Amino acid sequence: MSEETKSNKFSRRKFVKGIGSSIAGGYILSPAIAKAAKKISKEAKDFSEGKVPLSLKVNESVINVMIEPRTTLAELLRDELKLTGTKVVCNHGECGGCTVLLNNKAVYSCHLLALDAAGKDVTTIEGLSSNGKLHKIQQAFVDEDGLQCGFCTPGQVMAAAALLYKYSKPDKQQIMKEMSGNLCRCAAYPNIIKSVLSAVEKSNG
Protein backbone atom coordinates (compact mmCIF):
# COMPACT_ATOMS: atom_id res chain seq x y z
CA MET A 1 0.00 0.00 0.00
CA SER A 2 1.42 3.41 -0.92
CA GLU A 3 2.05 6.09 1.65
CA GLU A 4 -0.77 8.12 0.22
CA THR A 5 -3.46 5.52 0.60
CA LYS A 6 -2.14 4.76 4.02
CA SER A 7 -2.63 8.30 5.20
CA ASN A 8 -6.05 8.52 3.51
CA LYS A 9 -7.12 5.49 5.38
CA PHE A 10 -5.80 6.92 8.56
CA SER A 11 -7.57 10.26 8.34
CA ARG A 12 -10.84 8.69 7.25
CA ARG A 13 -10.52 6.35 10.11
CA LYS A 14 -9.90 9.11 12.59
CA PHE A 15 -13.24 10.52 11.57
CA VAL A 16 -14.95 7.30 12.41
CA LYS A 17 -15.50 7.50 16.11
CA GLY A 18 -16.51 4.95 18.66
CA ILE A 19 -16.81 1.98 16.40
CA GLY A 20 -16.92 -0.23 19.45
CA SER A 21 -20.46 0.73 20.23
CA SER A 22 -21.58 -0.46 16.84
CA ILE A 23 -20.16 -3.89 17.48
CA ALA A 24 -22.05 -4.07 20.71
CA GLY A 25 -25.21 -3.96 18.65
CA GLY A 26 -26.14 -1.13 16.35
CA TYR A 27 -29.27 -2.75 15.00
CA ILE A 28 -32.85 -2.57 16.00
CA LEU A 29 -35.18 -5.43 15.41
CA SER A 30 -38.65 -4.56 14.28
CA PRO A 31 -40.89 -3.91 16.12
CA ALA A 32 -38.40 -1.51 17.63
CA ILE A 33 -37.71 -2.21 21.23
CA ALA A 34 -35.74 0.93 21.85
CA LYS A 35 -37.47 4.08 22.89
CA ALA A 36 -38.06 6.47 19.99
CA ALA A 37 -36.06 9.33 21.43
CA LYS A 38 -33.08 7.15 22.14
CA LYS A 39 -33.25 5.75 18.65
CA ILE A 40 -33.14 9.16 17.01
CA SER A 41 -30.14 10.28 18.96
CA LYS A 42 -28.34 7.02 18.28
CA GLU A 43 -29.00 7.30 14.57
CA ALA A 44 -27.76 10.86 14.55
CA LYS A 45 -24.57 9.60 16.16
CA ASP A 46 -24.27 6.75 13.68
CA PHE A 47 -24.64 9.18 10.76
CA SER A 48 -21.88 11.29 12.15
CA GLU A 49 -19.70 8.19 12.12
CA GLY A 50 -20.22 7.66 8.41
CA LYS A 51 -22.75 4.91 8.85
CA VAL A 52 -25.70 4.49 6.57
CA PRO A 53 -29.11 2.99 7.17
CA LEU A 54 -29.98 -0.41 5.80
CA SER A 55 -33.28 -2.19 5.85
CA LEU A 56 -33.68 -5.79 4.83
CA LYS A 57 -35.36 -8.98 5.87
CA VAL A 58 -33.33 -11.70 7.52
CA ASN A 59 -35.08 -15.00 8.16
CA GLU A 60 -38.41 -13.24 7.77
CA SER A 61 -37.69 -10.56 10.37
CA VAL A 62 -37.38 -6.96 9.26
CA ILE A 63 -34.01 -5.58 10.23
CA ASN A 64 -33.23 -1.88 10.35
CA VAL A 65 -29.61 -1.20 11.01
CA MET A 66 -26.93 1.47 10.69
CA ILE A 67 -23.78 0.09 9.16
CA GLU A 68 -20.49 1.15 7.72
CA PRO A 69 -20.94 1.04 3.93
CA ARG A 70 -18.05 -1.39 3.56
CA THR A 71 -19.74 -4.05 5.70
CA THR A 72 -20.27 -7.28 3.82
CA LEU A 73 -23.44 -9.28 4.18
CA ALA A 74 -21.46 -12.01 5.98
CA GLU A 75 -20.15 -9.48 8.49
CA LEU A 76 -23.62 -8.08 9.03
CA LEU A 77 -24.96 -11.56 9.70
CA ARG A 78 -22.13 -12.84 11.88
CA ASP A 79 -20.83 -9.78 13.69
CA GLU A 80 -23.90 -7.56 14.01
CA LEU A 81 -26.79 -10.02 14.05
CA LYS A 82 -24.75 -12.77 15.75
CA LEU A 83 -26.02 -15.33 13.28
CA THR A 84 -22.82 -17.36 13.36
CA GLY A 85 -24.28 -20.34 11.52
CA THR A 86 -23.04 -18.70 8.33
CA LYS A 87 -19.32 -19.46 8.11
CA VAL A 88 -16.50 -17.46 6.61
CA VAL A 89 -13.77 -19.63 5.12
CA CYS A 90 -11.96 -17.58 2.46
CA ASN A 91 -13.75 -14.21 2.78
CA HIS A 92 -13.03 -13.80 -0.88
CA GLY A 93 -15.73 -15.44 -2.96
CA GLU A 94 -13.69 -18.57 -3.57
CA CYS A 95 -15.29 -21.34 -1.56
CA GLY A 96 -19.01 -20.95 -0.89
CA GLY A 97 -18.62 -21.40 2.87
CA CYS A 98 -20.69 -18.26 3.45
CA THR A 99 -23.55 -19.13 1.09
CA VAL A 100 -26.96 -17.71 2.04
CA LEU A 101 -30.13 -17.16 0.06
CA LEU A 102 -30.92 -13.73 -1.32
CA ASN A 103 -34.49 -13.78 -2.63
CA ASN A 104 -34.13 -17.56 -2.75
CA LYS A 105 -30.97 -17.53 -4.86
CA ALA A 106 -27.61 -18.68 -3.51
CA VAL A 107 -25.07 -15.88 -2.98
CA TYR A 108 -21.65 -15.69 -1.36
CA SER A 109 -22.38 -13.40 1.56
CA CYS A 110 -18.69 -12.55 2.05
CA HIS A 111 -18.59 -11.15 -1.44
CA LEU A 112 -21.68 -9.03 -1.30
CA LEU A 113 -21.98 -5.68 0.42
CA ALA A 114 -24.73 -5.73 2.97
CA LEU A 115 -26.12 -2.62 1.27
CA ASP A 116 -26.70 -4.68 -1.87
CA ALA A 117 -29.17 -6.73 0.10
CA ALA A 118 -31.28 -3.65 0.89
CA GLY A 119 -34.96 -4.38 0.64
CA LYS A 120 -34.33 -8.03 -0.08
CA ASP A 121 -35.02 -11.28 1.68
CA VAL A 122 -32.05 -13.05 3.21
CA THR A 123 -32.33 -16.61 4.46
CA THR A 124 -29.51 -18.06 6.53
CA ILE A 125 -28.99 -21.55 7.84
CA GLU A 126 -30.72 -20.50 11.07
CA GLY A 127 -33.83 -19.58 9.09
CA LEU A 128 -34.09 -22.84 7.24
CA SER A 129 -35.44 -25.00 10.02
CA SER A 130 -38.84 -24.04 11.36
CA ASN A 131 -40.24 -24.64 14.83
CA GLY A 132 -37.20 -26.64 15.78
CA LYS A 133 -37.76 -29.09 12.94
CA LEU A 134 -34.95 -29.54 10.45
CA HIS A 135 -35.61 -28.63 6.82
CA LYS A 136 -35.71 -31.72 4.59
CA ILE A 137 -32.30 -30.84 3.16
CA GLN A 138 -30.83 -30.56 6.63
CA GLN A 139 -32.38 -33.86 7.65
CA ALA A 140 -30.99 -35.49 4.52
CA PHE A 141 -27.48 -34.24 5.37
CA VAL A 142 -27.82 -35.87 8.81
CA ASP A 143 -29.26 -39.12 7.50
CA GLU A 144 -26.82 -39.53 4.60
CA ASP A 145 -23.86 -38.18 6.59
CA GLY A 146 -23.24 -35.35 4.12
CA LEU A 147 -20.63 -33.79 6.37
CA GLN A 148 -17.53 -34.42 8.41
CA CYS A 149 -16.27 -31.41 10.32
CA GLY A 150 -19.42 -29.56 9.36
CA PHE A 151 -17.77 -26.21 8.80
CA CYS A 152 -18.68 -25.99 5.12
CA THR A 153 -22.06 -27.56 5.83
CA PRO A 154 -24.21 -24.46 6.35
CA GLY A 155 -22.98 -23.23 2.96
CA GLN A 156 -23.58 -26.62 1.35
CA VAL A 157 -27.08 -26.83 2.80
CA MET A 158 -27.97 -23.34 1.59
CA ALA A 159 -26.61 -24.07 -1.88
CA ALA A 160 -28.73 -27.21 -1.93
CA ALA A 161 -31.78 -25.26 -0.78
CA ALA A 162 -31.25 -22.80 -3.65
CA LEU A 163 -30.91 -25.70 -6.03
CA LEU A 164 -34.31 -26.98 -4.97
CA TYR A 165 -35.83 -23.58 -5.68
CA LYS A 166 -34.33 -23.69 -9.14
CA TYR A 167 -35.10 -27.25 -10.18
CA SER A 168 -37.90 -29.42 -9.00
CA LYS A 169 -36.16 -32.64 -9.91
CA PRO A 170 -32.45 -32.10 -10.49
CA ASP A 171 -30.38 -35.05 -11.64
CA LYS A 172 -26.94 -35.97 -10.30
CA GLN A 173 -25.10 -33.93 -12.95
CA GLN A 174 -27.17 -30.82 -12.22
CA ILE A 175 -26.61 -31.27 -8.51
CA MET A 176 -22.85 -31.56 -8.95
CA LYS A 177 -22.75 -28.53 -11.20
CA GLU A 178 -24.88 -26.35 -8.95
CA MET A 179 -22.96 -27.40 -5.86
CA SER A 180 -19.53 -27.00 -7.43
CA GLY A 181 -19.11 -23.53 -5.97
CA ASN A 182 -19.02 -24.98 -2.47
CA LEU A 183 -15.71 -26.43 -1.41
CA CYS A 184 -15.48 -29.10 1.26
CA ARG A 185 -11.94 -29.73 2.46
CA CYS A 186 -12.99 -32.85 4.35
CA ALA A 187 -14.25 -33.90 0.90
CA ALA A 188 -17.55 -35.31 2.06
CA TYR A 189 -18.64 -34.85 -1.56
CA PRO A 190 -19.99 -38.35 -2.25
CA ASN A 191 -22.32 -38.07 0.73
CA ILE A 192 -23.22 -34.48 -0.10
CA ILE A 193 -24.42 -35.71 -3.49
CA LYS A 194 -26.30 -38.53 -1.79
CA SER A 195 -27.88 -36.10 0.68
CA VAL A 196 -29.18 -33.79 -2.02
CA LEU A 197 -30.42 -36.69 -4.13
CA SER A 198 -32.27 -38.11 -1.17
CA ALA A 199 -33.86 -34.74 -0.35
CA VAL A 200 -34.95 -34.45 -4.00
CA GLU A 201 -36.45 -37.91 -3.87
CA LYS A 202 -38.29 -37.15 -0.66
CA SER A 203 -39.76 -33.92 -1.97
CA ASN A 204 -40.95 -35.68 -5.11
CA GLY A 205 -41.98 -38.86 -3.51
Partner 1 sequence: MTRKIVKSKYHFEPDLIETIGEVSIEEIKPWGSNDELKIIGKPTSRIDGAVKVSGEAVYTSDVILPNMVYAKILRSPHPNAQIKNIDTSEAEQLEGVLYILTYKNAPEIGWYYNTSYLFDKQVRYQGDEVACVAAESEKIAEDALHLIKVEYENLPFVTDAVEALKDNSPKVHEWGNLPRGNPDKYKRGDVEKGLKEADLVIEDTFTTQVVVHNTTEPHCSVAKWEGSKLTVWDSTQAIFNVRDSIAASLQIPASSVRVIKKYMGGGFGSKLEAGKYSVIAALISRKIKRPVKIVLDRREENLAVGNRPNSIQTLKAGVKKDGTLTALSHHSIGSIGAYPDGAGCSWPLRTIYKCENVSTEEYSVFTNTGKSRAYRAPGHVQGTFGLESLIDIAAEKIGMDPLEFRLKNYTDKDQVYNIPYTSKKLKDAYEKGANAIGWHRRNKVPGSSNGILKRGIGMATQIWWGGGGPPAYATLKLNRDGSVNVMAGTQDLGTGTYTFIAQVASEVLQLPIEKISITIGDTETCPYCGASGGSTTAASVAPAVRDAAEQMKAKLISGAAAILETSEEKLIYAEGIISVKNDPSKKITIHEIISKMRERVLVTTGARSANPEGYMINTFGAQFAEVEVDTFTGKVRVIKIVAAHDIGRVLNPKTLENQFHGGIIQGLGYALMEERKVDSNTGKVLTANLYSYLIPTIMDTPEIEVIIVSEGDSMISSVGAKGVGEPAIIPTAAAIAHAVYNAIGVRIKSLPITPDKVLNALTLIKR
Work out how close the CB of 102 gets to partner 1 at its nearest, in angstroms, rounded to a whole number. 17
81 lies in the site for partner 1, by CB under 8 A: no
Contacts of 186 (CB under 8 A, 6+ apart): 147, 148, 149, 152
Binding mask 165-204 toward partner 1 (x if CB under 8 A, else -) reads -----------xx-xx-xxxxxxxxxxxx-----------
Minimum CB distance to partner 1 smaller for 28 or for 100: 100
Write 167-170 long-range contacts (CB < 8 A, 24+). Answer: 168/203, 168/204, 169/200, 169/204, 170/196, 170/200
Minimum CB distance to partner 1 smaller for 94 or for 171: 94
149 lies in the site for ligand FES, by CB under 6 A: yes
Distances (CA, A) of 95 to 51, 110, 124, 179: 29, 10, 17, 11
129 lies in the site for ligand FES, by CB under 6 A: no
Helix (H) or strand (E) holding 105: strand 105-108
How many residues does the structure list for the chain? 205
Other C-beta atoms lying within 10 Å of the C-beta of residue 164: 19
Q: Pick from 76, 78, 101, 108: which binds ligand FES (CB under 6 A)?
A: 108
77 lies in the site for ligand FES, by CB under 6 A: no
Work out how close the CB of 84 gets to ligand FES at its nearest, in angstroms, rounded to a whole number. 13
Contact 119, 55 (CB under 8 A): yes
90 phi/psi in degrees, rounded to 5: -110, -25
Taking each helix axis from N to C terminus, what angle separates 189-204 and 136-143, rounded to the nearest 10 degrees? 130
Q: Pick from 85, 112, 164, 170: which binds partner 1 (CB under 8 A)?
A: 85
- Give the interface with partner 1 as residue ranges (CB under 8 A): 1, 6, 9-10, 13-14, 16-20, 22-23, 68, 70, 78-79, 82-92, 94-95, 97, 124-126, 128-129, 134, 138-139, 141-143, 145, 147-154, 157, 176-177, 179-180, 182-193
Query: Which residue ranges make up the site for ligand FES (CB under 6 A)?
Result: 88-91, 93-98, 108, 110-111, 147-153, 184-186, 188
